[in-house]
Amino acid sequence: MNRRIMDILKKREVLLLAIIVVLSLLVQVRAPSFLTYENLANVLKACSIVGIFSLGVLVITISGGFDVSFVAIAQVSEYLVVWLLLRYVHGNLLVAFLMAILVGTLMGLFNGFLIDHFKMPAIIITISTQNLFYGIMYVVTKGRLLYEVPDYLGKMSNMKIFAATAKNGAAYGISGVTILWFALALAVAFFLRYTMKGRSIYLIGGNATAAERIGINMTHSTLMIYGIGGGIAGIAAIAHISVIMTVIPNSIVGTEMDTIAAVVLGGASITGGTGSVFGTILGVLLFALINNSLTLLQISSSWYNVFIGGVILLSIFVNALQERRHLRQKVRVKVEMQEV
């Protein structure tokens, strides 16, 4: 077969797309309500928050870093922003976003500073800051819920683009949160592909020493990468409030690993250097589809983790298989060269 076609087929995105299509068709046979505009719009809305989180995680993962504190960052900025909006600031959606991004970025920068300053593994630092952020928030807020979230925050998720009406009269459509996710995805994709800074992240993840040698300032880069991660977590925070309209201090605790799994499933290497926005979106979508099809097929939701775990293990195994074959080819080429 043509080599270029082979190369394209080997890409993670194609594999994921194939799995998604096959899964969709299988579910469609058993549950005809699956491939309807209403259901798909709901699925997209449900996974938008994880989708937004995953973009920040993607940037950090590409750089060879690791972050488990992003959910804690989002939770803190959520609480802080709503509290400020209720007490002191008469804002609107834009103000809320700006404040959340600011708070999130600051916490991300704190991560970046510690990682760069101590030259410690990111996983250790971010586990500590995760506990630190959560802990401080709990102690200060005493775990109180905030109910009276300003209405203008909810408008975003209730927005219905390409609206349609269901048989029972309820309107549905693409949510504003989904639009936010895709817009942000485009922005991140543009940043990673077409800007110097974005491309340098791939280099840092692939070979940090080489990156330093060609004159990339590692301190600035680390701060930038974790700052972006924090900022995106701040955006996710506002999207999350917009959907649930209550600030519950522990509502998203413990979902870190789900997002990281989705990013890794999307083809980002945990050791850094590779990863794409498209793949990440597909990873998030696959998890959302599994969840949705369990509901539609009336399978107990306790099976969710089994499927997710199975998919993760299978995909990394396939990846390892490909890499082994790739390595063998390389060796063969070397041998042939020597014979010549």
Partner 1 sequence: MKKTRFSKSENYPLYVTIIILFILMSLVNGRKFLSWDNVSAMTYQMPMIGLLALGMMVSELSGGINLSIVANANFNGIFIYVVLNALTKGNMMAANGGQFILALVLSFLMTMLIGALNGYLIAAWNIPALLETLGMMTLLKGISLVITQGYTISDFPDSLTFLGGGSVLGIPMSLIIFVAVCIIVHIILDKTVFGKQLYFTGANPVAARFSNINVNKVIIKEYMLSAFFAYVCSLIMIGQMNSVKATYYDSYLLIAVLASFLGGVDPAGGFGKLLGTVLASIILQIISTGLNLMRLDPFMVTATWGAIIIIVLFGREIAGKFSSGLKRKGAVQ
Residue number, 32 or 310, with CB nearest to partner 1: 310
Structure tokens, 138? 């709990």
Exposed e or buried b for every residue in 57-74, given b needs 16+ CB within 10 A?
bbbbbbbbbbbbbbbbbb
Given the rule CB under 8 A, which residues bind partner 1? Answer: 66, 68, 114, 118, 120-121, 123-125, 127-139, 142-143, 254, 257, 260-261, 264, 270-271, 300, 302-310, 312-313, 316-317, 319-321, 323-324
Q: Which is nearer to partner 1, 92 or 131 (CB)?
A: 131
Please state, in angstroms and rounded to a whole number, the distance separating the CA atoms of residues 67 and 117: 16
Q: How far is the CB of 302 from partner 1 (least distance, A)?
A: 4
- Angstrom distances, CA of residue 137 to CA of 21, 93, 132, 268: 42, 23, 8, 32
Written as one string, the DSSP assignment of 111-124 is: HHHHHHHHT--HHH
Q: State the DSSP string of 190-256.
A: HHHHHSHHHHHHHHHHH-HHHHHHTT--HHHHHHHHHHHHHHHHHHHHHHHHHHH-SB-TTTTTT-H
CB atoms under 10 Å from CB of 159, counted, come to 17
User: Please, are residues 13 and 276 in contact by the beta-carbon 8 Å criterion?
Assistant: yes
- Looking at the chain, the number of H-run helices and the number of E-run strands are 15, 2
Q: Please answer whether residues 230 and 56 qualify as being in contact, where contact means their C-beta atoms are separated by less than 8 angstroms.
A: yes
Q: Which residues contact 201 (CB under 8 A, 6 or more apart)?
A: 59, 62, 63, 192, 221, 225
Q: How far is the CB of 132 from partner 1 (least distance, A)?
A: 4
| Minimum distance, C-beta of residue 141 to partner 1, in the bound complex (Å) | 10
What's the rounded Cα separation, in Å, for the pair 119 and 114? 8
The CB-of-286 to partner 1 minimum distance in angstroms stands at 14
For the CB of residue 64, give the shortest distance to partner 1 in the complex, in Å. 11
Q: Which is nearer to partner 1, 138 or 191 (CB)?
A: 138
**Shortest distance, position 273 Cβ to partner 1, whole Å:** 13
- C-beta of 334: minimal distance to partner 1 in Å? 19
Nearer to partner 1, 264 or 281 (CB): 264
Please say which residue, 31 or 127, places its beta carbon nearer to partner 1.
Answer: 127
Question: Closest approach of Cβ 271 to partner 1, in Å?
Answer: 6
Torsion angles phi and psi, residue 263, rounded to 5: -65, -45
The nearer residue to partner 1, 209 or 300, going by C-beta atoms, is 300
Which is closer to partner 1, CB of 123 or CB of 164? 123
Between 126 and 178, name the residue whose CB sits nearer to partner 1.
126
Using only C-alpha atoms, what is the Rg of the chain? 21
